[in-house]
A = this chain, B = another copy of it.
Amino acid sequence: MKDAFAEVEGSLAGDSYGRGSIIEDFQAEMAAVLGKEAAVFFPSGTMAQQIALRIWSDQLGTKRVAYHPLCHLEIHEQDGLKELHHLEPLLLADKDRLITLSDVQNMEGDISCLLLELPQREIGGQLPAYEELEAISAYCRERGIRVHLDGARLFEVLPYYGKSAAEVCQLFDSVYISFYKGIGAVAGAILAGPKAFTEQAKIWKRRHGGDLIGLYPYIIPAAHYYHQRVDKMGAYYEGAKELAALFNDCRYVSTLPQVPVSNMFHVHIALPKEKLEPLLAAVQVESGIGITRYLNESSEGRCSFELSIGDAYESIPKDELEAAFRLLKQRLLEA
């Protein structure tokens, strides 16, 4: 926060209820990056995505929308979509795999909008092949179904796809991106799409209580860190592949995906928490490198945690990293 504001003049005028150059310029820049007609800055993705689905549902006259069973809207938003917008989600695919073209082809009944999350965060940040994405988009568009991108981590997947943000977004009618995942700003989101869609989104943003008198405390860090980090996503992705390989070389450990397709992956370790926790703590004390701040424990006595690569990763000297993993590997062999 302080770094982002360091170069801002105290006399710079803030935005005011969605107006002013601070917000309008950033919205225009992001619309151009995403290849969309217009964009709206939101305090949160929760607000932006509920609103996106509501607008498409109102436009198409059906309350049904489709998304993955582990979609953010389904598991992290206290059912805001249902409680506030009375939309009815159709859950596509199984929890542990991506939505496929065949899932979409086999949907029963009408839906207004299909939401796809790239990458699918809750299963380690997996991605469909780009050709499958194109096929899903084409299938929906032929049938008048809107396609919305949960692109919270969109920039993080571009190196793997080898596409620009605008190229990926062309497959979608509306797009949400976040500024505190790989971008690492404070909070905030952009929702982009056709102008008629974003104008509706501004009305809903006010209804939700998100049309704040000043959003600049989030916009300035978002713009600052976007410009600082958007070109580092390739390096983060390479770091993730390197780190995942180190994990996969250890007994009991596997990563999901085995080879990451973005800057993130999940680490699964086939040991119960009471055994793994002291082991990881000892590795941290001895090597000076902390591996995770938490452990999720599954019912079968296995543990998992999520890792995302950012600037901190490259600040760790390679020899120290390798020493830490030699130690981890040794301790797991003895476990």
Contact = CB atoms under 8 A, between A and B. Distances in A.
Contacts of A295: none
A80 B212 contact: no
Nearest to A46: B209
Interface in A189-218: 203-204, 206-218
Interface stretch (A3-11, A123-131, A160-168, A305-313): A3-11
Nearest to A202: B78
Interface residues of A, number: 40
Q: Which of A8, A42, A209, A214 has the most CB of B within 10 A?
A: A209
A84 interface: yes
Contacts of A2: 5, 8, 10
A180 interface: yes
A187 B209 CA distance: 12
Interface in A212-246: 212-218
Contacts of A207: 77-80, 83-84
Given A1-B5, A3-B10, A10-B3, A187 B210 contact: no
A206 B78 contact: yes
